[in-house]
Chain A
């Protein structure tokens, strides 16, 4: 048997977390903990890059499969990746080290425990993206809640407890239904192995209910309108690194779930419920963009813009067009980078001024020009300017949507106008204008590590904006086959 590369990817951060337990958490020793965590995550990133290089792009079947019996005759620990999941794994392993570097500026107390939470979360999230067994997926999917809950609840802001519980309540409510659905799938088909389920299919008469159960969980995590209200609160209260992980990766689990499970397992139901998804997505895009326009808190604004962007993602997935699904995946990757970057940029000024209110700022460009330039790049990527990765995603999604339904595409395109409005208005109020607040005059520009983090995020945003081929090539075959499979499934039933 080959080297279990996926399991090592999943386990390595946990091993790192164990090591962290044995570092002393006293003043002066904080750096040790940080270096251990950083080292672990960077190694993990390198492994995932190796994975990408050795990944065979010409086939859509799962690769690097590991299949071990966990509970005899019931559950197998089965992991494997295809072109869709590998990108999310790399996104995870790429964002996590950046989070860890950013941490020393924002988290003051119990740094070691914070790092442990982040590492464990990385494990779980990688697990989600390579799980090929429904039970394994469910476990990773739900376990990811716990570290996030702690990150918000312990290291959060003033209303952290309220936000943490709101976050937990919402997400758990949806998940319970998914668990029920998974158990029923086992009863119906006798297996929870995703690959086998793809082959045998699930009886049409059960599909609608099962789809709804999965949907309730994914919709909350995406988040889709109207179950999105936990997100702004969670983001506002979470520390910067927490917001980054939440926006960049946690939200993507649901989009990934829609592609892997909703489309793959329940083709007929997916077709039936497409109008529902369209309506909710379009509402999310328009409503939350309008709400974002009126926000006074920078983090809340970005959180609401995330809801709008994820609206594009769900819209694209259910167009069931090549361009739509590929656009959604690229949009998710792009949003992972852009929203991470935007939360970090807010974090930078928050660390210095301890305010997230837009009205505190204004005229920053004359005191911190480097920061302003990078912020501009991220703002532009967020509003989908051609030449940034945001454009490729949005444009492909809308193109796919247009093929499927004119009305939806037209209304969703309006979101692009609103996106420009709220993002540029935010930027103008924070960065341009006269420097009125006296305290801002003493503000210092990006330090070396902040500069490094933000540049690391800006580089792929621009690179994939001009040359998205590496991304598209990776997912192309998998998406094509997914659509083909979906069509044959539909035709046969």
Chain B
């Protein structure tokens, strides 16, 4: 039964991908949605078993690579951590499948789209249920591939193709670090299985390695290399540039891959490797700083973007930053909790924005929307719920998880912790501002679209609203219901051995003023945003005009893309051209085969001149030779 959770999506993908032409669009949609939904129900059952019966299992499906001491299996590991991920992945995936039936109704390639979605689900499940690093890597690259396919789904769009390649290649940069991390683990432990590696970790805590001329602690090196992989997949600062571009893909894809599941794989990796990270305070601090910086950076950029999906993409980036700094301060369970709640409300926001885009017939600029909240009542209401949950409005899911992160950062009690908590609070405020900006600009104010009339905008069909509705239930209640389970301090610690804490987490509570600070800011931000974006719309523009350089800096996303363009893309093209034309062409060929053959040719042309056919010339040469020979004999 457990195996069918993984393989049902694969079967769905094969049916829809290879036989979609024969069974028709509607049947492909039904088959894929049904199979993935069954998989979701089974996952819920597994999670229930894990909660109630402490069910754990490690199923070996088949051997994969057996080379010398390297033994890798295809396997399925069920423990609390993977069970939670199973539920997140399959439930969001099945809802997105259903939603896509409505959203993609005008697309001519439905079976292909559904096949990619199911294939993605399969790869993601392989990733989360692996019991070793190499199958994890398989899933890791597999989800990257599906993301590549889905971002570039509209293959005629030049920008979509470019974004797809960018996503894959940037992820490969992360994978480069990740692969090196795996090599190092194999080098040190001779195995890549989690349980065996985790067991041996304490034995190498004090081991030093000389790596590229630096003397470093082996454990720090493993941690940083694995984290580079996580940064790529989870779009952390420096390797984040692919995520906003990935919005070129269809919106259901953004909801599934670029909000709820794939991008959280990095967080999952860090949490999964908590038995390693716990021994490396240095890298944990680094993770905190990266997470915090990303959270802040992405929130500032989201403030000024005008594309509805890009705003939510940066918001995702920012929330992933939160998850990382939760992991960085050692609160892995809180990171997982935020991952869990975030999956619901962010998928809700994305699908909601998809519904808006659908209503406006593929308009994505929020400046060209407005005033339609009466026309799209359900979408509006559901988007509000998503926004409230995201901003951490009291008693919705984001409130429990995000505030917990900030609290744990504070409780960490060191400089990084306080600093992170501070940035966390500021970012929470920014999050609230940009989220409400999105809502107000999209649904309130005057209607601003010139292409279609307000009467033509329409509410989405039921098949699209139903998944939104289910997600909104999650967004409202997930935090409240699962708080005790995920981050409680009870005797029955839910995570069991899947998360390791070297020092038990602090069970104290921060002071009351601190607890109230974030919710107050969040509440305060709603009227501020209302004032700025509905009442006094000129004010934001004036502020932007007054701080033109800052505004441009944010609008251009801190100029990362431009920097990378010059630093990596253009320069590697130049180097490539140089190596090809100059090194290969001029030097190697010039002095090699071409040079030698032309040299020989020249020599032989010279040599043929001797054979002129005139006897007196031959006689002269003979005389010369003879006299030289004689001279030589005499001198000798």
Contact = CB atoms under 8 A, between A and B. Distances in A.
B572 A472 contact: no
A212 B287 CA distance: 49
A290 interface: yes
A363 B156 CA distance: 7
Interface stretch (B182-190, B199-207, B538-546): B182-190
A428 B186 CA distance: 35
A59 to B, nearest CB: 18
Contacts of A323: 67-68, 70
Contact of A322 (B69, B577, B593): B69
Interface in B142-200: 142, 145, 148, 152, 155-156, 158, 161, 164-165, 168-169, 172-173, 175-176, 179-180, 182-184, 186-187
B66 A472 contact: yes
A403 B187 contact: yes
Contact of A291 (B156, B184, B579, B592): B579
Interface string B572-609: 11011101100110001100110011000000000000
A420 interface: yes
A433 B164 CA distance: 12
B138 A432 contact: no
Interface in A438-472: 466-469, 472
A293 B63 contact: no
A185 interface: no
B212 A409 contact: no
A77 interface: no
Interface in A350-371: 363, 365-366
B92 to A, nearest CB: 24
A215 B169 CA distance: 35
A476 B168 CA distance: 34
A295 B573 CA distance: 10
B52 interface: no
Interface stretch (A95-103, A122-130, A186-194, A392-400): A392-400
Contacts of A432: 152, 155-156, 161
A133 interface: no
B64 A424 contact: no
Given A386-B142, A409-B180, A229 B169 contact: no
B567 interface: no
A263 B228 CA distance: 36
A294 B577 contact: yes
A227 B164 CA distance: 35
B141 interface: yes
Contact of A417 (B65, B68, B145, B173): B173
Query: Which one of A406, A409, A418, A473 has the highest number of Cβ atoms from chain B below 10 Å of its Cβ?
Result: A406
Given A417-B176, A472-B67, A434 B184 contact: no
A424 B142 contact: no
Contacts of B596: 169
A223 to B, nearest CB: 11
Contacts of A291: 576, 579-580, 584
B477 interface: no
Interface string A123-154: 00000000000000000000000000000000
A195 interface: no
A249 B103 CA distance: 49
B580 A294 contact: yes
Given A323-B68, A417-B169, A385 B145 contact: yes
B211 to A, nearest CB: 6
A242 to B, nearest CB: 19
Interface residues of A, number: 61
Interface residues of B, number: 53
Contacts of B161: 428, 432-433
Contact of A467 (B62, B183, B573, B597): B62
A388 to B, nearest CB: 10
Given A386-B138, A402-B187, A396 B145 contact: no
A42 interface: no
Interface string A283-294: 000010011111
A322 B579 contact: no
B67 A396 contact: yes
A230 B597 CA distance: 14
A290 B180 contact: no
B373 interface: no
A472 B572 CA distance: 37
Contacts of A366: 155-156
A326 interface: yes
Contacts of B69: 322
B495 interface: no
Contacts of B183: 398-399, 402-403, 409
Contacts of B152: 428, 432
Nearest to B62: A467
Contact of B156 (A380, A433, A466): A433
A413 B588 contact: no
B67 A424 contact: no
A398 B179 contact: yes
B137 interface: yes
Give the residue among A292, A295, A409 with the most B Cβ atoms within 10 A.
Answer: A409
A392 B573 CA distance: 29
Contact of A425 (B158, B165, B211): B165
Residue in A295, A366, A399, A416 whose Cβ sees the most chain B Cβ within 10 Å: A399
A420 B169 contact: yes
Interface in A403-430: 403, 406-407, 409-410, 413-414, 416-418, 420-421, 424-425, 428
Interface string B548-581: 0000000000000000000000001101110110
A4 interface: no
Given A385-B145, A398-B183, A413-B179, A433 B158 contact: yes
Given A287-B579, A413-B180, A472-B65, A399 B186 contact: yes
Q: Which are the 3 A-B pairs with shortest beta-carbon distances? A: A322-B68, A402-B183, A290-B576
21 contacts: A169-B596, A229-B588, A229-B592, A290-B576, A293-B576, A294-B580, A366-B156, A385-B142, A386-B137, A392-B65, A396-B70, A398-B179, A399-B182, A399-B183, A403-B183, A403-B187, A433-B158, A469-B63, A472-B67, A476-B67, A476-B68
Interface of A: 165-166, 169-170, 226-227, 229-230, 287, 290-295, 321-323, 326-327, 363, 365-366, 380, 385-387, 391-392, 395-396, 398-399, 402-403, 406-407, 409-410, 413-414, 416-418, 420-421, 424-425, 428, 431-434, 466-469, 472-473, 476, 480
